[in-house]
Amino acid sequence: MHETKLQNLSEQQKVKFYQKGTFTVGNRLVDAETRSVQASDARSNAITSGHRACQGCGEALGARYALDAAMRAARNQLIAVNATGCLEVFSTPYPETSWQLPWMHSLFGNAPAVATGVAAAMRVKGRKDVRVVAQGGDGGTTDIGFGCLSGMFERNDDVLYVCYDNEAYMNTGVQRSSATPPAARTATTPAVGDKPGNVFGTGKNVPLIALAHNIPYVATASVANLHDLERKVTKAMEMEGSRYIHIFVPCPLGWGSAAEATIHVARLASESGLFPLWEAEHGEIIATLPIRRKVQVEAYLKTQRRFAHLFKPERDEVRIAALQRMADHNIKRFNLVREEKETAI
Amino acid sequence: MGGTANLADMFQVRLHGRGGQGVVTAAEMLSVAAFLEGRHAQAFPSFGSERTGAPVVSFCRIDDKPIRLREPILEPDALIIQDTTLLAAVQVFQGLGPDGYVLINTAKSVEDLGIEAAVGGLPEGRVRMVPATDLALRHVGRPVPNAALLGAFAAVSGLLRFDSVEKAIREKFKGPIGDGNVEAARAAFEAIAVPA
Amino acid sequence: MLKQIEGSRGVAEAVALCRPEVICAYPISPQTHIVEACGELVKSGELENCEYINVESEFAALSVAIGASAAGARSYTATASQGLLFMAEAVYNAAGLGLPIVMTIGNRAIGAPINIWNDHSDAMSMRDAGWIQLYAETNQEAADLHIQAFRLAERLSCPVMVCMDGFILTHAYEGIDIPDQAEVDAFLPPFVPQQVLDPADPYSIGAMVGPEAFTEVRYLAHDKQIQALEVIPEIQSAFEEQFGRDSGGLFHTHHCDGAATIVVTMGSLAGTLKDAVDELAEEGPRVGVLTLSCYRPFPKAELREALKKAKRIIVVEKCLATGFGGIVSTDLRMALQGMELIVKTVVAGLGGRPVTRPALKSMLRRALKGELADLHFLDLNRGMVDRELANQRKGIATGPTAENLLKDVAIHGTGA
C-alpha cells in the first residue's frame, strides 16, 4: 500500500533538481553506489516542497537530507516525532503538511519521550522493521527537552534523535538558548552595553554530553557537508539503541546572514574549528573530519550580523581572540588539522 | 484466655510501633486472617512518610458487614503495642474503651511498665504481655515482633483461629522466613492460650 | 476471585487484566505501589506483551504514553499531586490529541507546604484539561473503574483519569473481587485506534491549528464529553451484567428518595458520610448521600433530576478554590440554577485531615438547623488561625506561615 502511495506521490510531485554549478546536490558525477540519497529522484522526499521555511533555511535542508537518508535506510518504514519549533511550524501550516511519512508533534520538551513511546509500541507489536526518528531544534533539545533526551539515552531506547542546531530560539524570534555561542546577539542577549551579545561561558555541548551516556552512536554533522551528513544518518540507522546526531544548520533570519550563504556560513563554522565534525560509538570518538582549508574565526563571524558588534564601531580584539581560542581548542582537541597548511583568508 | 471478642459490632484494632517493626504489615496480616474467616476487614496505615525508628500507627477493622468507614480508629477495641518505649512518647491508650484489650510486646509486668493507671480499669485477662521480639529473634533471627504479636492476639481476643493467622503470615512471608514467623506466632499463641 | 489485598495491588491487577501494551512508571507517593505492582506483573511474566518503561519524570511518563498511544498501543500510567502538575502540559496535550490513555491519580494535596496526604486538589487542577474524570469510592470500585476506563477511553478516543484517594484507598487492605482474564476479555475488546502512526498510511498528528478551526476542535472535544454522559451509564450497565457490580456510572445515591437534605461528595469520603447519616437518622430526619463517580463530564441534567425534590444540598469536598470557595459545589450550583434549593459548601479533609463521623454529624446537625455558613471549613482550628492572623497584623516580616503554625501546634496543641 505504501509503495503505491509513494509512487503516486512521486508522480504527483516529481522531484526536480535545480543544480547550478555545484556537485553538492547529488554527486551525480560519482559512481552510483557512492552517490548521495538526494541524487536519486526515487528518494522518499520526506519533507516535500511547499512548506513555509524562510529562504536559505538550514534546518529545512538538514531535515530533508537527514530524513530522506533515514527513510532509505529504513526502507520507508519510519515514524518521525517532532518537537515544537520552526521545523514543526513551517512544515505543518494548517491544513497542510509537508511530511510524507507518519509524523507526530506533541510538545516542545517531550519529543524524546514521545519517540520512546512510539518505539515501545512498535516493539510490543512486533514491528521490528519500523524505526523511529525524533527531531527538534537546539532549544527543544539542549534546553527544554534535555531531561527527556537524557532519559531516552540512559534507557538506550531505540530512537535516532536529530538536533538541528541553529544556536537560538528562532521560532519565537531569536532568543538565546544554551547552544547560542558567546558574543552572539539575540533578542535576549542584545548588542548593547560594554559586553554586547551573549556571555562567554562554557555553553552546553550536548553532543559530548550524549557521548558521556555511552550510547551506541553520536555524531555531529553540518549542512556544509551533506554527503557526510547522509553517511552518518545511514550509519546511525543501521544501529539499534539510542543514537544522536547534532546537525549545524545556519538560520539566515536569526543570524543575519545572506539566504544564499547558508552552506558557505556552515562551511566556515567547520573550517574555522568552531563546529567540529566527529562521530563516536559507545562513548569513544572514532573519527573526526579534518579541516580541508583552515580559516580564522573572523571569516566566519563576518558573515553574520549577530556578530557585527565585534567589528563595529571598532574591532573588539579581546573577544574575537577569545572566540579564536575556542576554535583553536577544538582543532587541538579533535585533531582537526592533520597537515600544517593554513591558508590565509 | 481473655475471652471472645464480641463481633455484633465492628471490632477495631490499633497497632503502635516504630518504623521497621512491621506495624503496617501486622495490620495487613490481621485483616487477611479475618478475611480468611469470611469476615470483612480493612487495614490501613497512619499514612505517614515515617522512616525507620519513628512512631508508626496502623489500623484494622473487622466486621461481619461491609465496612464503609474510612476515618482513623479513634476508639479502638484492642491495642497492640509493639514497642514499650512508645508508652512514654505517644498517647497509645487514647480512646480505648473500658472493655478493651491490650497486648504489649514485653517480658515486663504492668507494674514494671508503670501503666496501672491506664489499664487498671480493664476487665481481668484483657491486658497481656508477650516477649514477641525475643520470640522473633529465636525463630526468625530478626527483631521483628509483628507475627508473634498476631499469634498472641488471636489467643487474647479469641477473634481468630490460629490457622488463619498462620495462613495470613504465609501470604506475606514465603519460605523459611514464613516458617520462622509462623513458629514465633505459634509460640506466642501458646504462651497466652496455655499459660505455663 | 475475592482477595484481601492493598488497593494499589488491586488496581495494578485490574489494569493488567486490561492487557496494556505500554506502562510508564515514575514514583510519587501515594501512587507508587500501583506502578511497582505493575512492574512486578510484567517482570514476572504474568502480564505478557507489555513494555514497562521506567522514565525520568512524570512529564516523560505521560509523554511516553502519548507516543505509544499514537502508535496504537494501549497505554497506562499513574501519578499524583506534584507529579500531575509536572506533567500538566502533557495532560492537556493527550486530551487535545484525543489519545485514549488511562491514568490513575492517587489523589494527594499540592504543596507548598509539602504534604503527601490525601485531598482532591491535584485532580481538580486538571478538571478542564479534556480528560474524563472518574472517582472511586472503594478499592473494589477503583479496580472496576479501570476496566471500564479503557473501554470508555477507546470508545470515545479520549483519555480517562481514574481518581482514588491517596493512602485512604491506595494503601488500604480490603476485599477486592478481581475478575478472570476471560471475563475482562469479553468486556474489553482489543484496542482499535481512531488514528495511528503507520508507515503504510502516513498521517501528520499534532499539526498546528489556527483561529480558523481551533474553536471547532475544542467544540468537538466538549461534544465528546457530552457523549460520555450517555456512554458511561451504558458501560456501567454492561459491566454490571458481566461482573454483577454496579461500579461506576455517573453517581450513586444513598437514601436520597424523599430526603430534604442531601450531601453530595466524591471518593472514599462517601463511606464515612453514609455511616454518619445513618447514625444521624436515629435522632432526626433522613439525610441522603449522593456520591459523584463521574466529575468530568459533569452530569448536570442527571443531577437536576436526582436532586429536584431536595431543599438543601451540602457539598462536602476535599478541595478549595483559593479566594473563592468550593469547586464541586460551584459546578453543582450552576447545574441546579433556577431550582428552589440552597447549596452549601463544606471544605473537608485537606492535606489528609481525618474526616470523622463526629465532625460530620456535628456539621450536619448545624446544617439541619439552618446554621451552616455558605462556605464552611470542617474542623478548622479557629484559634490557630486567629493567633497567626494577629501575628501577621504586627508587621510584614512575620516569617513563613506554615512554620508559624507548626510552632503554634507545639505551644497550643491541635485542640484549640
Model confidence pLDDT, tens digit, residues C293-305: 999 999 999 999 9
* pLDDT at residue B167 tops 90: yes
Tell me the shortest Cα–Cα distance from C381 to chain B, in angstroms. 19
Indicate the DSSP class of residue A54.
Answer: P
Confidence at residue A28, expressed as pLDDT on a 0 to 100 scale: 59
Q: Is the pLDDT of residue B1 over 50?
A: no
C299 with C163, same domain: the answer is no
CA-to-CA distance for B84 and B101, rounded, in angstroms?
16
pLDDT tens readout for residues A242-294: 999 999 999 999 999 999 999 999 999 999 999 999 999 999 999 999 999 99
- Out of A94, A115, A154, the one facing C207 most closely (by C-beta) is A94
Tell whether C112 is within 8 A of chain A (Cβ).
no
Which among C197, C159, C205 has a CA at the least distance from the CA of C62? C159
Nearest to C175 among B27, B35, B49 (CB): B35
Across the interface, of C24, C63, C71, the residue whose CB is closest to A106 is C63
Nearest Cα of chain A lies from the Cα of C116 at a distance, in angstroms, of 25
Q: How far apart are CA C299 and CA B100, in angstroms?
A: 47
- Chain C partners (3+ C-beta pairs within 8 A): A, B
Q: Is the pLDDT of residue A1 over 50?
A: no
Instruction: Kindly tell me the sign of the dihedral angle through the C-alpha atoms of C247, C251, C253, C257.
Output: negative
Please tell me which chains touch B, using 3 or more CB pairs under 8 Å as the contact test. C
C414 touches chain A (CB under 8 A): no
Whether residues C200 and A155 touch (CB distance < 8 A) is answered with: no
CATH 3.40.920.10 fits B11-193, yes or no: yes
In whole angstroms, what is the distance from residue C89 CA to residue C110 CA?
17
Q: Is the dihedral of CA A248, A169, A137, C53 positive or negative?
A: positive
User: What is d(CA A30, CA A279) in angstroms, rounded to the nearest whole number?
Assistant: 24
Look at chain A and report how many structural domains it folds into.
1
C99, C38: one domain: yes
DSSP B39-85: -EEEEEE----PPTTSEEEEEEEEESS-----S--SS-SEEEES-TT
Q: Sheet harboring C375-377: ordered strands across?
A: C251-254, C287-292, C261-266, C312-317, C342-347, C375-377
Q: Which of A52, A116, A127, A150 to mutate to test the interface with C (most CBs of C within 10 A)?
A: A116
CB atoms within 10 A of CB C404: 15
Question: What is the least distance, in Å, from the CA of B107 to any CA of chain C?
Answer: 31
| b/e burial code for range A173-212 (CB count within 10 A of at least 16 → b) | ebbbbbbbbbbbbbeebebeeeebbbeeeebbebbebbbe
**What is the predicted pLDDT for the residue at C346?**
98
User: Has residue A338 been placed in a domain?
Assistant: no
Residue A231 lies in a domain: yes
Q: SS3 breakdown of chain A: % helix, strand, coil, rounded to 5?
A: 40, 15, 45
Q: What CATH number did the domain enclosing A89 receive? A: 3.40.50.970
Both C408 and C266 in one domain: the answer is no
Whether A339 is covered by a domain: the verdict is: no
Q: C221 in contact with A at a CB cutoff of 8 Å?
A: no
Which residues of B have a CB under 8 Å from any CB of C? 27-28, 31-32, 35-36, 40-45, 47, 49, 67-72, 74
Could you give the residue ranges of the DSSP H alpha helices within C157-213?
Answer: 181-187
In the prediction, which pLDDT does A344 show? 45
Q: Which residue of A has its CA nearest to C60?
A: A113
Query: How many Å apart are CA B29 and CA B24, to the nearest integer?
Result: 9
Residue A8 predicted with pLDDT over 60: no
Give yes or no: residues C371 and C400 share one domain.
no
Cβ neighbours for C323, distance < 8 A, ≥ 6 positions apart: none
Contact B72 C171 (CB under 8 A): no
B90 pLDDT band, cuts 50/70/90, is confident
Per the CB < 8 A criterion, the answer to whether C210 and C219 are in contact is no
Mean pLDDT, chain C, whole residue set: 96
Task: Enumerate the residues of chain C whose CB falls inside 8 A of the CB of residue A145.
Answer: none
Give C213's contacts in chain A (Cβ within 8 Å).
94-95
To probe the interface with C, which of B64, B70, B150 has the most C CB atoms within 10 Å?
B70
- C328 near C266, Cβ under 8 Å? yes
DSSP letter at A40?
Answer: -
Question: Where is the domain boundary, C224, C243, C262?
Answer: C243
The closest of C312, C290, C319 to C374, measured between CA atoms, is C312
- Do C233 and C341 sit in the same domain of this protein? no
8 Å CB contact of C73 and A120: yes
Residue tagged 475471652 (cell numbers): B3
- Report residue A194: phi and psi, to 5°: -85, -10
One domain for residues C231 and C274: no
Residues C337 and C287 in one domain: yes
Using DSSP's 3-state secondary structure scheme, residue A239 falls into: coil
The set of cell numbers assigned to C31 is 501512587
Residue type, A72: R
* The last residue of a domain, from among C190, C221, C243: C243
Q: Return the pLDDT at A14.
A: 60
The yes-or-no verdict on residue C77 having pLDDT over 70 is: yes
Instruction: Please tell me whether residues C226 and C278 are part of one structural domain.
Output: no
- pLDDT category, A39, cuts 50, 70, 90? confident
Q: How far apart are the first and last CA of chain C?
A: 48
| CB-based contact C17:C147 (threshold 8 Å) | yes
Residues 6+ apart with CB under 8 A from B73: B12, B13, B14, B59, B61, B95
What does the pLDDT read at residue A345?
A: 42
Asked if residues C7 and C166 have their Cβ atoms less than 8 Å apart, the reply is no
Q: Does C2 touch chain A (CB under 8 A)?
A: no
Q: What is the mean pLDDT of chain A?
A: 91
The residues, any chain, with a CB within 8 Å of residue C235's CB and separated by 6 or more, are C148, C151, C152, C155, C248
Q: How confident is the model at residue B123 (pLDDT cuts 50, 70, 90)?
A: very high
- CB within 8 Å of B31: residues ≥ 6 apart: B41, B42, B43, B60, B62, C4, C173, C174
Q: Which three cell numbers stand for residue C266?
A: 466524591
- Cα(C188)–Cα(C70) distance, integer angstroms: 19
What DSSP state is assigned to residue C197? Answer: -
Across A45-49, C91-95, C339-343, least confident range: A45-49
Which of C29, C117, C172 has its CB closest to that of B44?
C172
User: Which of B47, B49, B69 minimises the CB distance to C271?
Assistant: B69
What pTM was estimated for this model as a whole?
0.94
Measured CA to CA, the distance from residue A241 to residue C192 in angstroms comes to 28
B167 contact residues in C (CB cutoff 8 A): none
Q: C253-269 in b/e burial notation, b at 16+ Cβ within 10 A?
A: ebbbeebebbbbbbbbb
Cβ–Cβ gap A113/C212 under 8 Å: no
Range of the domain at A44: 2-333
List the single best residue of B47, B64, B75 to mutate versus C (max C Cβ within 10 A): B47
pLDDT band per the 50, 70, 90 thresholds, residue B2: very low
C72–chain B nearest CA distance, Å: 38
Contacts with A92 from chain C: Cβ below 8 Å: 204, 207-208
Does the pLDDT of residue C40 top 70, yes or no?
Answer: yes
Cβ A117–C56 below 8 Å, yes or no?
Answer: no
Q: What is the mean pLDDT of residues A312-332?
A: 96
Range of the domain at C239: 2-243
- Identify whether the C-beta of residue A46 lies closer than 8 Å to the C-beta of residue A100: yes
Name beta bridge partners: C174.
Answer: C5
Residue A340 belongs to some domain of the structure: no
Closest by CA position to C276, among listed C355, C344, C222:
C355
Closest to A210 measured CA to CA, from A201, A200, A220: A220
Hey, is the C-beta of C174 within 8 angstroms of any chain A C-beta? no
Task: Give yes or no for residue C61 having a pLDDT over 60.
Answer: yes
Of C4, C173, C354, nearest to B71 by CB-CB distance is: C354
* Residues C82 and C138 reside in one and the same domain: yes
- R_g (Cα) of chain A, nearest Å: 20
Q: What is the ipTM of this complex?
A: 0.95
Q: What is the mean pLDDT of residues A289-317?
A: 97
Using a threshold of 3 CB pairs under 8 A, tell whether chains A and B touch.
no
With helix as H, strand as E and coil as C, how does C33-69 read?
HHHHHHHHHHHCCCCCCCEEEECCCHHHHHHHHHHHH
pLDDT in tens, A186-208: 999 999 999 999 999 878 999 99
